[in-house]
Structure 1
Amino acid sequence: MKSSASARTFGELLGYAPGNVAVYSSDYDSADEHTYPNRSAYRSYLDGIYMGYKWQCVEFARRWMYVNYGYIFDDIAMAYDIFELRSVREVSSQTRLPLQAYRNGAKQHPTVGSLLIWEEGGEFEETGHVAIVVEVHPDKIRLAEQNVAHQTWPEGQNWCRELKAKITQDGDYWIECSYSDATILGWMTQTADSQYAEPTPALNNDLLVINAATVADTGQVNKSWLNIANDDEAAYVDMMQGHKLTSNNADQHRYFTISHTAQHTLEHATNELHGLFMHATDYVLQHPELLQKFNLPEVVLTKIRQSWDNRLNQLITSRFDFALTPAGLKVYEYNCDSASCYMESGKVQGKWAKHFGVKHGYDAGQTLFKDLVKAWRKSEVTGIVHILQDDDAEEHYHALFMKHAIEAAGFECKVIIGLQQLSWDASGNIIDAAGDTLNYVWKTWSWETALDQIRQECEAEQRQSASFEPQWQAGATPRLVDVLLRKNIMVFEPLWTLIPSNKAILPVLWSLFPNHKFLLHSAFELNDELIQSGYVVKPIVGRCGANIQLIDQQQQLIEKTSGHFASQDQIYQQLFALPKVADYFVQICSFTAAGKYAGAGVRVDKSMIINGHSDCMALRISDDSHFIAKE
């Protein structure tokens, strides 16, 4: 929120809420860089339990509940997401307690300790807001909160703001929002009494089904439909050898649909899981014994920690891989470093649907491009962005698609194929053929490619602990590792994305959030529970579905893939097979922009394991009525 002339400096005490819970100024403009030198310094813990980001509204609400009641609500992406929660976790017993949601105007009035929730928008743009109710009266309600005003509370007062309230003749309790452009969703109360609460009906399993559909053949495949005057579309057509979304000629008229409910679940899961993966990343970086399991070169660990501390919020895009079945939505892994398929989902599938005349539902990736543009505008880029790619047809159209997003955000962008166009100048900077210095880089290469170079160099020079620094010589061509680890080059995606992209994060997540509804049981060692459920063996680092084994409940090998990652350490993950739809195993992919859901697509294969050769097809979102079985 905006600061004022009388605002207290960031982190200064403003007052005490009931239970003697401290409230702090959240005037970020005044934060002392010596006290808060990096992102990690802003993370708030109490008794070793993560409360949130200093000193935001969510941090205070979780801390207040923990101090006064001993329970906390789950990690959420935005404050308004709290309104979707239906339980809190009692920390001492690890048991779940019911949490009820009441819309503004409900007959069940808020009580002391209720959470008041604002929708995103207006004063609370993008995030929403949460406050603690500390007094309830027929004509007013009093709140304690952080990150709205940053002034010291009056002496002896344990609340900071008062809102007008009114009770109707029918007993409905309405709270007036003091901001004309903001909306109060309602309040959350920990109680088993669900009378007047927002209903939480059991999810109809039919709504988590993926359906296959076809559009009538009117000769569409005989006509061009991608605009090859656009560089990215021309490169895509060259790679696909024609105007088509899938490589299988028999499938040109086929697409897949999911329900509105499934899409809402996917969006919620994406936002929530991003937060969980970020929490697990921070946990790993604080526990060296866990970090060792990620098999990262010792020489870059300091740089990874620096990246996490300084660039936590500089993620442009990433991809989650999901299995969506009537048994639920489960995440397989998080491609947080070098995701693919965003052009297919963010552009091609929409153009395919328009050309083929699909009227059913709407494009699942229709907002991805504009969300990428917003993500770039939020980045700290101030000059030319150089895109680095290998000489690969698929990487090329992805690079050009991202180039359009960068340019739409208002930045100049150059695509560099390979490294031969680059050189060191006399000052130790890396420059392109035109003499422009590389300051901002977005890459199609994975960080693991650069790490392989570091491992080889360390082995050759027998260096194991010294921090890696690129060596340069004026006029020489830099190596990939020299570019990506150069101090004065900001690389997207940041180096810290190595942690959540590594499959070793999966057992950590399960240990931190056991039995979470979107997670699969994962472990570093095979255990009885995994043996009973069937399990998947995965290398901690791998790409394109390489070196994966599927083992069923009878300990029989169902399927396996080969690849270049056989020497990597492995993790074990609960077997949760992809649904088979119209002879294909179908995987749902959700994309983020700046860490928030931005669209979805599908990848399909006749094999149970999605790999580098698996096809993309169009995904449409349809009304729930198309999925509910008719009696």
Structure 2
Amino acid sequence: MVSSKHPNSTKFGTLLGVAQGGVCSYSSDYDSADEKDYPNRTSYRSYFDGIYMGYKWQCVEFARRWLYVNRGYIFNDVSMAYEIFNLRSVREIKSNRLLPLNAFRNGSTQHPEPGAMLIWDEGGEFEHTGHVAIISEILPNAIRIVEQNMDFVPWQNGRNYSREISARIGAQGDYWLQCSSKSGRILGWMLQTEDDTEAEHTPEATPHLFNVQLAHAKAHERDTKPWLNIANHDEAAYVDMMKGHVLSSVVEDFHDYYEISETALEQLETATDELHGMFMHATDYVLQHPELLSTFGFPDVILPRIKQSWDNRLNQLITSRFDFAMTEKGLKVYEYNCDSASCYMEVGKIQGKWAEHLDLKRGKDAGESLFESLVDAWKASDAKGIIHVLQDTDPEEDYHALFMQEAIETAGFTCKRVIGLHDLHYNENNEIVDDDNVPLRWVWKTWAWETALEQLREDVSASECPPLADDIINTQPKLADVLLRKEIMVYEPMWTLIPSNKAILPVLWTLFPNHPWLLETDHSLSETLKKNGYVAKPIVGRCGANIRLVDKNNKVLATKEGAFGERDYVYQQLWPLPKVGKYYVQICTFTAAGNYAGSGVRVDASMIIGKDSDCMALRVQQDDEFASA
């Protein structure tokens, strides 16, 4: 990608050229975007005929817009452009039909055609993302393409294409496009055609590869010896909490762990990235439709703050967690813990050290990249100065906060942990400061946003016109006073209240009906859900509280009490966790900056995963090794 310092670079949103059908290509130099023209996050979302195309002015947005204008169909959301090469259908907008899409490798005897998508792998100029362009013309020894976000320079001499790529045909009719070391590797081209001759076939994976398997590490002479380094604060806090050097709280489970196949891991990675994009799209959709936002149960006084949080580009997401059920019958997401998820240290550090202690060589740690991904997310954030980590006095939150503090400090920030709120106070400038009188500006919290909202609801019930936190001066700040102050940037940001709320699930089902990773969910108990079985969930809850599983015969399979029974409910299609060995097993995937970062498992003898459910090690095996186990 051309640097914005290039002498011919243009300002964000500048017209670079016009392709077939009058489809415009715009400069995507985000550093030059004018806040007056693009004041918030929503202003960066591109719609055409009311259909969401993507983010202005990225390559995926242009490709989807070109296909819609010229061919009448679009492809599904993807997290990265190179993932388009794995898609096998497009959706015709007028009929809502799915049409076949086939991928052909660079060098295929199935030659590219005008209108085909050209896909680059991640790497080179397209590090991490890959790239997509549209082939506009086939020449004897080259192709011409149209695109966005390759550079910020106008197309030369008013031509209707952005550039040419040299091509050569081999002796067997194999068609090759030139790949320079600078621009990265071209994966191939995508054609909307039923002719799949020479196409990249997505192999039919053996259903067994999507099961979770129980495995056992061999007993070792070092089994009873300490293996966590208590000189490290987070590991010491973990040992104190667990009362020993263990991963599971059940002594006889010490050598047990779970395995998934490489194929299953690939699907988890793809699902995590795509679902994050879907939840973000649904979040924006809710904020554009007040009638939907009203179903989330937020205090009216906080709604402008949530909208402001979403609009503020500085409010990035550091990390989050998806909860899945995975079996040979399919992969289904239950919910998105986008606000205050747990189990990061167990997955990002403990399960790896457990395997090292037992000298376990089989497979690889499914959470080995989580810590470094968190470090990278902090480096890419806009945080500045001291970051305060706020936590409750819960012992579990001790090691959770210390683990995140290590990631923050590894990223190069100064970090200070605040346990409880008693060390915070107001200074003479009405700023909330710590015990060293350092004002809080950047905060990462283990507290749930809902805790702050409960305090706000109490204030609302106690006063007809309760002040917001910016106007409050107390000798002892409450959590709401801290998190709701405009000068304090909070991770995870306030807008995560929306994707974390179960009321988002019916919205997702409406926006993406029958999506293979979603479960049908509604605000009311429909006849279809009754017929097939359902799960009743409060729209706000933690640790499985107040969840009830009911089968198609109206038999209650499992239920858990809690403090959220008075909240509104949603009803989700019943899709029980698989029971592997003596436990029901839930797969958890973690994100960093919105991208897949690692996996783990939580297990329970009950069908409902709760606060006391154990984490156990998760490892990834090669498909052939997994199948032979």
User: Scaled by the length of structure 2, what TM-score is found?
Assistant: 0.98
Instruction: Give the alignment of 1:271-282 within 5 angstroms.
Output: 271-282=273-284
Q: In the alignment, which residue of structure 2 is the partner of 1:110? A: 112
Q: In the alignment, which residue of structure 2 is the partner of 1:470? A: 470
Q: In the alignment, which residue of structure 1 is the partner of 2:591? A: 592
Determine the C-alpha separation between the residues in 2 that align with 1:506 and 1:179: 44
Q: In the alignment, which residue of structure 1 is the partner of 2:624? A: 625
Instruction: Give the alignment of 1:9-88 within 5 angstroms.
Output: 9-88=11-90
Runs of 4+ in structure 1 deviating by more than 6 angstroms, as ranges, are none
Structure 1 residues 360, 629: CA separation in 2 closer, same or farther (over 3 Å shift)? closer
Q: In the alignment, which residue of structure 1 is the partner of 2:553? A: 554
Q: Is the 8 A contact 2:520 2:572 kept in 1?
A: yes
Q: Deviations over 1:140-185 (max 9, x none)?
A: 0100001112233345521011111111011111111345351111
Q: In the alignment, which residue of structure 2 is the partner of 1:497? A: 496
Q: Is the 8 A contact 1:299 1:467 kept in 2?
A: no
Q: Is the 8 A contact 1:38 1:310 kept in 2?
A: yes
Q: In the alignment, which residue of structure 2 is the partner of 1:244? A: 246
Q: In the alignment, which residue of structure 2 is the partner of 1:93? A: 95
| Aligned residue type for 2:23 | V
Determine the C-alpha separation between the residues in 2 that align with 1:354 and 1:174: 46
Q: In the alignment, which residue of structure 1 is the partner of 2:132? A: 130
**Sequence identity of aligned pairs in percent?**
60
Structure 1 residues 313, 259: CA separation in 2 closer, same or farther (over 3 Å shift)? farther
Structure 1 residues 61, 194: CA separation in 2 closer, same or farther (over 3 Å shift)? same
Q: Deviations over 1:277-313 (max 9, x none)?
A: 0000000000000000000111111111111111476
Instruction: Give the alignment of 1:95-494 within 5 angstroms.
Output: 95-154=97-156, 157-180=159-182, 182-311=184-313, 314-463=316-465, 468-473=468-473, 476-494=475-493
Three-state SS of the structure 1 residue aligned to 2:407 is: helix
| Aligned residue type for 1:384 | I
Determine the C-alpha separation between the residues in 2 that align with 1:578 and 1:605: 10
Instruction: Give the alignment of 1:502-581 within 5 angstroms.
Output: 502-581=501-580
Three-state SS of the structure 1 residue aligned to 2:215 is: strand
| Aligned residue type for 2:8 | S
Determine the C-alpha separation between the residues in 2 that align with 1:445 and 1:477: 17
Determine the C-alpha separation between the residues in 1 that align with 2:112 and 2:485: 54
Q: Is the 8 A contact 2:524 2:571 kept in 1?
A: yes
User: Scaled by the length of structure 1, what TM-score is found?
Assistant: 0.98
Three-state SS of the structure 1 residue aligned to 2:627 is: coil
CA RMSD in angstroms, aligned pairs only: 1.3
User: Structure 1 residue 629: deviation in Å?
Assistant: 6.0
Q: Deviations over 1:559-613 (max 9, x none)?
A: 1110000001000100001110011100000000000000000000000000001
Determine the C-alpha separation between the residues in 2 that align with 1:118 and 1:254: 42
User: Structure 1 residue 137: deviation in Å?
Assistant: 2.2
User: Structure 1 residue 627: deviation in Å?
Assistant: 3.3
Three-state SS of the structure 1 residue aligned to 2:263 is: helix
Determine the C-alpha separation between the residues in 2 that align with 1:218 and 1:24: 62
Three-state SS of the structure 2 residue aligned to 1:532 is: helix
Determine the C-alpha separation between the residues in 1 that align with 2:467 and 2:311: 17
Q: Is the 8 A contact 2:315 2:490 kept in 1?
A: no
Determine the C-alpha separation between the residues in 2 that align with 1:457 and 1:92: 50
Q: Is the 8 A contact 2:314 2:382 kept in 1?
A: no
Determine the C-alpha separation between the residues in 2 that align with 1:298 and 1:124: 43
Deviates more, 1:142-151 or 1:111-120: 142-151
Segments of 5+ residues of structure 1 without an aligned counterpart are none
Q: Is the 8 A contact 1:390 1:444 kept in 2?
A: yes
Deviates more, 1:94-103 or 1:218-227: 218-227
Q: Is the 8 A contact 2:535 2:550 kept in 1?
A: yes
| Aligned residue type for 1:95 | R
Q: Is the 8 A contact 2:469 2:480 kept in 1?
A: no
Three-state SS of the structure 2 residue aligned to 1:124 is: coil
Segments of 5+ residues of structure 2 without an aligned counterpart are none
